[in-house]
Amino acid sequence: MSVATETAAPAPPKPRSRLEHRPGLNRWLPYALLAPAVLLELFIHIIPMLVGIWMSFVKLTKFFIANWSSAPSAGLGNYKVALDFNNAVGQGLLKSFGVTVVFSLVTVAFSWVLGMAAAVALQPEFRGRGIVRTLFLVPYALPAYAGILTWNFMLQRDTGAVNHVLNQLHLTDGKTFWLIGGNALISLITVAGWKLWTFAFLTLMAGMQSIPRDLYEAASVDGAGNIRQWRNITLPSLRPVNLVLVLVLFLWTFSDFNTPYVLFGTAQPPAGDLITFHIYNASFLTWNFGTGAAMSVLLLIFLMIVTGAYLLVTGRRSRRA
Amino acid sequence: MRETRGFKIYRGVTLTVLGLFVLVPLYVMVTSSLKPLKDVQGAFSWWPSNLTLAPFVDMWKTVPLARYFVNSTIVSVAATVFSVAIAILAAFAVSRFKFRGRTVFTTTVLSTQMFPGVLFLLPLFLIFVNINNSFGLQLVGTRLGLIITYLTFSLPFSIWMLAGYFDSIPRELDEAALVDGCGPMGALWRVVLPAARPGVIAVAIYSFMTAWGEVLFASVMTTEANRTLSVGLRQYSTQTNIYWNQIMAAALVVSVPVVIGFLLAQRHFVAGVTAGAVK
């Protein structure tokens, strides 16, 4: 947006704020205002991240936790262990990565489709719209663990609501295991999607409010039906919102910890072994922080590559458009 | 959009299906919290065999829920207060001053929001342990450690959202305050902040929700003394019995304040999200 204004014909010089007329004060005040935020971000995020990278290169087992400076160097040893797909640790990581990719893609798609469907249904005004919208925001507002605990109860084999309903509808015999075995992934997607689709809904609904009404009116006059209007007006107008939304949903789901942790406890079924949870268990069950740190760095590199590629591809496409 | 018959059918079906998807778990949570223990240990039923408020009484005795409540409240309130105050200062700098490093600051801070928590978890835990060993300042197993950690979680989004809000307040207003003899901080306090009140409320609720619902760091950084609700609620299932009716009652009680807060401020929240997304 700012690029467009700069290249536009001779705009009048932007009136400078009076705050900017005081050179002395001006020079240090913004930095002083930022200092607390910067220091805290450094202390809790940036420095730990650098320490994490260092940790991935040392043999940081439980003997060195209180005395980390004497931990011996491991070179690339931790990475070799994490990426050796012939041994148990490497295989576990690879499997967990595969599960996470499937979980993440399906959950994002699921959440986006439901969010879009609801946002479109609520686009025209009608009686009761406010109530429905408020209701749809409840899963998002609920503390994550409260919602997941409820699902945990509902997914119990013998006492849960899910098996009860499926049995009453004659779809299953009502004896399905949802929290152990192969169904764990389905459960994870449902539970994570239950909360996440409402965020997609919230964002898409907000984005739709800024689409001018006369676009739809003009299209109606031209005889375009609702589906064509959605394809030709709603979708293109929401493009910037969608770009951010899909990326954010992906990054969130890929590093989701709450859902598997609250749903399964420490006994994670292999089919629900999401990567963050896997790293967590690998570190805190064995107290081998070195390998855990190496896995975290690999995860970070992967997410950075995906984000970079995503921004590159979407950026190029919008420039062409 | 024209409200054709087809659209009305679509709307009816979509809202019914999604409404059920949202409502059924909420319904199960509420009704199960009113069931006697034998109901939640047998086959599922839609309605309690006899309605009872006992789970809401017993849940305080089965686990030290009151202590978890106090811990969560202190941690979340303190994290919110500090996070909002720090975000206001930073957002004011970003919105009203041009200075070197402005872009670097905003992009770095925002990108920390995107990284998975497990990245910082191990090193931060180690740093906290070692700070304790070298300086005697205990951060693992104390509320202070949680407060410091949580306030940084909501900080990036809060700064971003508030800067957007401040940008929408005409600069002429703070200029007028400066002419009247206020310093820049006076302009922030007397003019910008009052005008940005909805934004500040939204950011405060967001910070509170973040701290109140955090699980990952709480599971590592808390001991029995500073345990918060997010981890404490799991204690009901480590006993020989799983008191699902009490778990649901406790889940309901810890949810009500945040849900009400969020729903009351949802308008400001939506506006803040859009302002950010559109930029």
Clarify whether residues B22 and B57 are in a common domain.
no
In a domain, B36, yes or no: no
pLDDT value of residue B279: 43
In chain A, what are the domains? 94-320 (1.10.3720.10)
B141-162: per-residue pLDDT in tens? 889 999 999 999 999 888 988 8
Collect all residues of chain B within an 8 Å Cβ-Cβ radius of residue A238. none
Distance CA A316, CA B97 (A): 32
Query: Is the Cβ of B104 closer than 8 Å to some Cβ of chain A?
Result: no
Residues pairing with A73 in the sheet? A58
pLDDT value of residue A8: 41
In a domain, B43, yes or no: no
Distance CA A253, CA A303 (A): 12
Alpha helices in chain A (DSSP H): 2-7, 23-41, 47-55, 77-83, 88-121, 129-141, 144-154, 161-168, 184-208, 213-221, 226-229, 235-237, 239-254, 258-264, 275-286, 289-320
Whether A143 and B230 lie within 8 Å, measured CB to CB: yes
- Indicate the pLDDT class of residue B29, thresholds 50, 70 and 90: very high
Clarify whether residues B97 and B235 are in a common domain.
yes
Collect all residues of chain B within an 8 Å Cβ-Cβ radius of residue A141. 209, 258-259, 262-263
In a domain, B41, yes or no: no
In a domain, B31, yes or no: no
Query: Is the Cβ of B69 closer than 8 Å to some Cβ of chain A?
Result: no
B243-275: per-residue pLDDT in tens? 899 999 999 999 998 998 888 887 777 666 655
Clarify whether residues B5 and B57 are in a common domain.
no
Task: Name residues 167-206 of chain A within 8 A of B (Cβ).
Answer: 194, 198, 202-203, 205-206
CATH of the domain at B95: 1.10.3720.10
What are the φ/ψ torsions at residue A291 (nearest 5 degrees)? -65, -40
Collect all residues of chain B within an 8 Å Cβ-Cβ radius of residue A26. 97, 99
Clarify whether residues B173 and B123 are in a common domain.
yes
Distance CA B191, CA B214 (A): 34
Whether B127 and A163 lie within 8 Å, measured CB to CB: no
Residue of B nearest to A43 (CA): B124
Distance CA B257, CA B28 (A): 19
pLDDT value of residue B168: 84
Collect all residues of chain A within an 8 Å Cβ-Cβ radius of residue B179. 18
Q: How many CB atoms lie within 10 A of CB B158?
A: 29
Residues of chain A whose pLDDT is less than 70? Answer: 1-26, 62-63, 65-68, 317-321
CB distance A274 to A192 below 8 Å: no
Domain count across chain B: 2
B183-233: per-residue pLDDT in tens? 888 888 888 888 888 889 889 988 999 999 999 999 888 888 889 999 888
Nearest to B99 among A30, A135, A194 (CB): A30
Tokens of B62: 């089965």
Whether A145 and B213 lie within 8 Å, measured CB to CB: yes
- Contacts within 8 Å (CB) and 24+ apart, B45-53: none
What are the φ/ψ torsions at residue B72 (nearest 5 degrees)? -60, -40
Clarify whether residues B169 and B268 are in a common domain.
yes
pLDDT value of residue A1: 36
Distance from CA of A89 to the nearest CA of B (A): 18
Largest CA distance in chain B: 73
Clarify whether residues B3 and B72 are in a common domain.
no
Distance CA A231, CA A233 (A): 6
pLDDT value of residue A66: 67
Distance CA A135, CA A123 (A): 16
Tell me B235's DSSP state. G
Clarify whether residues B2 and B71 are in a common domain.
no
B37, with CB counted inside 10 A (0-12, 13-18, 19+), is: middle
pLDDT value of residue A70: 72
Collect all residues of chain B within an 8 Å Cβ-Cβ radius of residue A206. 270-271, 273-274, 277
Clarify whether residues B141 and B210 are in a common domain.
yes
In a domain, B33, yes or no: no
* Chain A with chain B: Cβ pairs closer than 8 A: 297
Clarify whether residues B149 and B271 are in a common domain.
yes
Q: Tell me the percentage of chain B whose pLDDT exceeds 70.
A: 95
Clarify whether residues B183 and B62 are in a common domain.
yes
Nearest to A144 among B108, B148, B215 (CB): B215
Distance CA A171, CA B181 (A): 74
Query: Is the Cβ of B130 closer than 8 Å to some Cβ of chain A?
Result: yes
CB distance A297 to A283 below 8 Å: no
In a domain, B48, yes or no: no
Among B7, B16, B18, which would you mutate to test the A interface (most chain A Cβ atoms within 10 Å of its Cβ)?
Answer: B18
In a domain, B34, yes or no: no
Task: Name residues 6-65 of chain B within 8 A of A (Cβ).
Answer: 6-7, 10-11, 14-15, 18-19, 21-26, 28-29, 32, 40-44
In a domain, B226, yes or no: yes
- Average pLDDT of chain B is 87
Clarify whether residues B110 and B231 are in a common domain.
yes
Clarify whether residues B251 and B133 are in a common domain.
yes
Query: Is the Cβ of A82 closer than 8 Å to some Cβ of chain B?
Result: no
Nearest to B148 among A44, A55, A245 (CB): A44
Among A159, A222, A239, which would you mutate to test the B interface (most chain B Cβ atoms within 10 Å of its Cβ)?
Answer: A159
pLDDT value of residue A209: 85
**In terms of residue numbers, what domain contains B155?**
53-278
B61-71: per-residue pLDDT in tens? 888 999 999 99
